[in-house]
Chain A
């Protein structure tokens, strides 16, 4: 690996100062993606600004009024094991639990995962299904954006040079909300997802009040199945309706063919997994 200078700021302000107007500097979070890219000489930053010693970027807060605030430097493992996440967002705990292997989850951070914007990842689809937003800071100020628009393409976000993701915000779930994350791998168990499906379902009695279906890992960003979501509104999710929504999901995606599967194969999987996750959510209701 090419030598670099390692900066260790203790405050967010100091880190932002060091990243501003320095195109040769890169922020270092967990390092599980960045260090590999540097080892392969795909990136050769002259300076790394290590964010791990900044307390403001750490921790998870939960309140029933404002929901979850997850500091960007929180590790995937910390999210997966956090009691409030397990209680209120079990599918988010699951989407983090199935990321890679335990060694990576111990280091990789949620903010790093989102800012890196690798399309073959589990948490983004689930977070979009839950309506998550990202809070972003730079020396010139703060802004917030839905994760859905923050992710622009594979490895591309709306982050400008000098901007950092500081927090991930997830609104509190409505009462009785059902949520599911289903990951499908075609190689080893701990592989990146071939397809990931995230579902969040709000109910009014037995009918669907609102539904989000998000397909991850098949296109350059997670894909919301808007047509299918609208079909469900106000209706009871019968097996026939679920079949129709699954069909809409398969048409909504434009899968990228890779070593994990051809476009045709992935499209078929999307249909199967959307159906499976919706049937699972509905079964949970009657249980």
Chain B
């Protein structure tokens, strides 16, 4: 599979989740596991551009696909993605555990908006990503600021 633009070859058992492979085999620990049953959104990654819960997504299903994790958001020269900068400027995180998933869900939402076919608003797009400390106001503000330039 391709992870953050890099082709990776892994020998994994079919029962291994993508989150497990990312964290334990590839040491990409920006992907967090919290509820482990696809409710909280902490483990959100993009597979071929679509947000999925990597905690229950079988790693095997990612074969031949492109996976984007939070480690792949920043540009190759190290410059942060506009969303990451907006999250910092708006204090859109506190403990940070949900942030990786939040950023990727927002990233997919903004891509959909650019294509003009999301058919939903920012609240719906982020409804499945749960934050237990910052609250959602600064998170939504940061996403909208990037969306509206």
8 Å CB contacts to A: which residues of B104-136? Answer: 105, 108, 117, 119-120, 124-125, 127-130
With a CB–CB cut-off of 8 A, which chain A residues contact B53?
Answer: 103-104
| CB-CB nearest in chain B for A52 | B61
CB–CB B38/A36 < 8 A:
yes
Asked if residues B127 and A104 are in contact (CB atoms below 8 Å), the reply is no
Given A32-B38, A39-B36, A81-B119: A103 and B52 interface contact (C-beta under 8 Å): yes
| Residue A48 at the chain B interface, CB threshold 8 Å | yes
Cross-interface CB contact of B15 among A2, A32, A100, A107, cutoff 8 Å: A2
Identify which of residues 39-59 in chain B touch chain A, using a CB-to-CB cut-off of 8 Å.
39, 41, 44, 50-53, 56-58
**A144 close to chain B: CB less than 8 A:** no
B57 engages A31 (CB within 8 Å): yes
Q: Using Cβ atoms and an 8 Å threshold, which residues of chain B touch A100?
A: 128
Measured between beta carbons, the chain A residues less than 8 angstroms from B17 are 1, 35
Decide: B37 and A102 in contact? CB cutoff 8 A.
no
The range of chain A's interface size is 20 to 34
A39 to B125, CA, bound (A): 27
Number of A-B contacts (CB under 8 A): 74
| A35 with B41: CB separation less than 8 A | no
Within the complex, which residue of A2, A48, A81, A104 is in contact with B38, where a contact is CB–CB below 8 Å? A104
The residue on A at minimum CB distance from B54 is A103
B15 with A103: CB separation less than 8 A: no
Spot the interface stretch: A3-11, A57-65, A148-156, A213-221: A3-11
* A25 → B minimal CB distance (Å): 13
Q: Which DSSP category, helix, strand, loop or mixed, fits chain B's interface? A: loop
22 residue pairs of the A-B complex, CB under 8 angstroms, read A1-B17, A2-B15, A5-B14, A6-B58, A6-B60, A31-B57, A31-B61, A32-B38, A32-B56, A39-B36, A39-B37, A39-B56, A52-B61, A81-B119, A101-B39, A102-B127, A103-B38, A103-B44, A103-B52, A104-B128, A190-B127, A190-B128
**A102 near B125 (CB under 8 angstroms)?**
yes
Q: Which A residues lie within 8 Å of B128 (CB)?
A: 100-104, 190
Interchain CB contact under 8 A, A1 and B15:
yes
B89 touches A (CB below 8 Å): no
Residues from chain B with a CB closer than 8 A to the CB of A174 are none
A100 to B39 CA separation, bound complex (whole angstroms) = 8
- What's the nearest-Cβ distance from chain A to residue B140, in Å? 14
CB contact list, A164-202 vs B, under 8 A: 188-190
Question: CB of A106 within 8 A of chain B?
Answer: yes
